[in-house]
Amino acid sequence: MHEYDPIHLFERAAHRWSDRPALRVEGRTITYRELDAWSNAIAERLVDRCPDAQRVAFTAEKRANSYAAVLGILKAGMAYVPLPPDGPRARWQSMVDQAGVKFTVGAVDLPGLEAIAADEGAASRSTRNASGQEAYVLFTSGSTGGPKGVSVSRANVAAYLEHQLSAHAFSENDRFSQFFALTFDLSVHDLFVCWSVGGCLCVPAANDLMRASTFAREEGITVWFSVPSLVLLMQRMRALPANALPNVRLAFFCGEPLTWPIVRAFGAAAPDAELFNLYGPTEATIAITSFWISSASLQQEGVVPIGTPFRHARVRVIDDELQLSGTQLAAGYVGNADATDRAFLVDPSTGDRWYRTGDQVREGADGNLHFVSRIDDQVKIMGHRVEPAEVDAALASLMPNGHSLTLAKRTGDSVRLYTFIDTVADHLALMHELRRTLPAYMLPERIITVEVMPMTAHGKLDRKALLALIEHG
């Protein structure tokens, strides 16, 4: 078993720091001993009820039983499949169908699934099963009309943890933020970096995201991790004054391009913090490059570099597109061999696998990589990958006599979607149906009817003309 296997690291911490706090959630502090026993009980139930299950789902609410479920599923040698708490139900169905899920920890309102109790308890015997190779399946937006499930192994996670625990001096005295949804792979960093060193994972309630700096002060957060847009939100709410985060000593950002003005604002609020910009798609397990932000570099403008690859990772730039390889590379997309073959390449000369990120980058003279843009239409909204074409795919069956085109518009540091349709339709009814199939962050800001889709002189859709309609009519 790999020394950096996430369950091995958690159990080692639970043995060494059994009475220390492992989790702060819902106003409650749960010790390592309590969380270990709770997850053991869930693992025992899984092994007893569904010993041959490979993947187990749960509704990924930020509640204590969700964190126990992640650990319990992994202890049982199975992979966890987190379902977004707000649905929608049709998306849940697509996820469990693709992943072949038959069992859940806690009830999920879908037919054909058997629920395993998530209640607290103590296992009567050891149920640890280290044979499970897969750690989790997380779903990202797909351009062909539905989410794609990325299969990430325990060895992939172990490679990530090995880098982070070697590169940074985390300790049992650290208190880690947990701002990310459990359906977002950056949450894996929060959980298992924290639980590898005996730290306390501090989980905000939904309304705490609107008061993130207050939450961080009240909980004594020392290790911060968020998307840059959370910092932007704090700025806009005038909640990030100088020295607002005096306890933070390490701060990580990932999921979106990080700009230098955001860095300066956060640096002033957390004057004792070392800041790092991380980069990596779900397919390369959480993050795979890093850039340390020195105090001497703070007066720059534009976008912060994404840095250099982790020690066990490799990068190359082919036709301006960043490609990734190494031990963090995921197996591919569950039940979707075509998508896997398009995104993952095998170098015929070496046999190495490479992942095509779709990100256009350039390499600086100092060796640091700089993100430039996407080579396709994919955008990031609050850190979530969004394919605008998935919105259009959802609308296709609702408008059999019309067409739609969803475009992303960037204003400052924020990105919003707008959908244009060329047929008469009830916009409110369309939005209602979209809410039944898409998560909230993928919903367009507005639906705009055009009589005819504008074309360029070369016969292509005139996207600039459509985006101009947002402001001018």
> End of a domain among 113, 132, 151?
132
Residue 431 domain-assigned (yes or no): yes
Of 132, 152, 170, at which residue does a domain stop? 132
First to last CA, the chain: 61
Joined tokens for residue 60: 């990924």
Are 33 and 122 in a shared domain? yes
Give the pTM.
0.88
Confidence of residue 122 (pLDDT cuts 50, 70, 90): confident
Domain that holds residue 364: 313-374
Distance CA 436, CA 406 (A): 18
Contact 187, 160 (CB under 8 A): no
Asked if residue 392 and residue 444 are part of one domain, the reply reads yes
CATH assignment at residue 453: 3.30.300.30
401 in the same domain as 336? no
Average pLDDT over residues 169-197: 97
Is pLDDT of 472 > 80?
Answer: no
Q: How confident is the model at residue 39 (pLDDT cuts 50, 70, 90)?
A: very high
CATH of residue 69: 3.40.50.980
Express each pLDDT in 295-331 by its tens digit.
878 888 889 999 999 999 999 999 999 999 999 999 9
Query: Which residue is it, tokens 């187990």?
Result: 56
Model confidence at 346, pLDDT cuts 50, 70, 90, reads very high
Higher pLDDT, 150 or 448: 150
Mean pLDDT of 277-299: 93
Radius of gyration of the chain (CA): 22
pLDDT tens digits, one per residue of 440-450: 888 999 998 98
Residues 122 and 25 in one domain: yes
State residue 1's pLDDT score.
46
Q: Which of 76, 100, 132 is the last residue of a domain?
A: 132
Domain identity same for 338 and 399: no
Average pLDDT of the residues of the chain: 91
| In-domain check, residue 344 | yes
Could you give the number of structural domains in the chain? 3
In a domain, 321, yes or no: yes
Whether residue 346 sits in one domain with residue 411 = no
- Contact present, 65 and 106 (Cβ < 8 Å): yes
Q: Is 80 exceeded by the pLDDT of residue 258?
A: yes
Q: If you average pLDDT over residues 121-147, what whole number do you get?
A: 77
Average pLDDT over residues 375-389: 83
Whether the per-residue pLDDT at 130 is higher than 60: the answer is: no
Let me know whether 330 and 355 are in one domain. Answer: yes
- Whether residue 456 sits in one domain with residue 362: no
Which of the four pLDDT bands, split at 50, 70 and 90, describes residue 168? very high
pLDDT digits (tens, 9 = 90+) for 89-105: 889 999 999 999 999 99
At 300, the amino acid letter reads Q
We report the CATH number of the domain holding residue 335 as 2.30.38.10
Asked whether residue 296 is domain-assigned, the answer is no
Task: Tell me the one-letter amino acid at 426.
Answer: D
Condensed to tens digits (0 to 9), the pLDDT of residues 211-252 reads 999 999 999 999 999 999 899 889 888 999 999 999 999 999
3-state SS of the chain? CCCCCHHHHHHHHHHHCCCCEEEEECCEEEEHHHHHHHHHHHHHHHHHHCCCCCEEEEECCCCHHHHHHHHHHHHCCCEEEEECCCCCHHHHHHHHHHHCCCEEECCCCCCCCEEECCCCCCCCCCCCCCCCCEEEEEEECCCCCCCEEEEEEHHHHHHHHHHHHHHCCCCCCCEEECCCCCCCCHHHHHHHHHHHCCCEEECCCHHHHHHHHHHHHHHCCCEEEECHHHHHHHHHCCCCCCCCCCCCCEEEECCCCCEHHHHHHHHHHCCCCEEEEEECCHHHCCCCEEEEECHHHCCCCCECCCEEECCCEEEEEECCEEEEEECCCCCEECCCHHHHHHHEEECCCCCCEEEEEEEEEEECCCCCEEEEEECCCCEEECCEEECHHHHHHHHHCCCCCCCEEEEEEEECCEEEEEEEECCCCCHHHHHHHHHHHCCHHHCCCEEEECCCCCECCCCCECHHHHHHHHHHC
* Cβ atoms within 10 Å of 126's Cβ, excluding its own: 10
Residue-level pLDDT at 23? 98
What confidence category does residue 143 fall into, taking pLDDT thresholds of 50, 70 and 90?
low
| Residue 180 located in a structural domain | no
Q: Which residue has the higher pLDDT, 467 or 13?
A: 13
CA 27/CA 46 separation, integer angstroms: 28
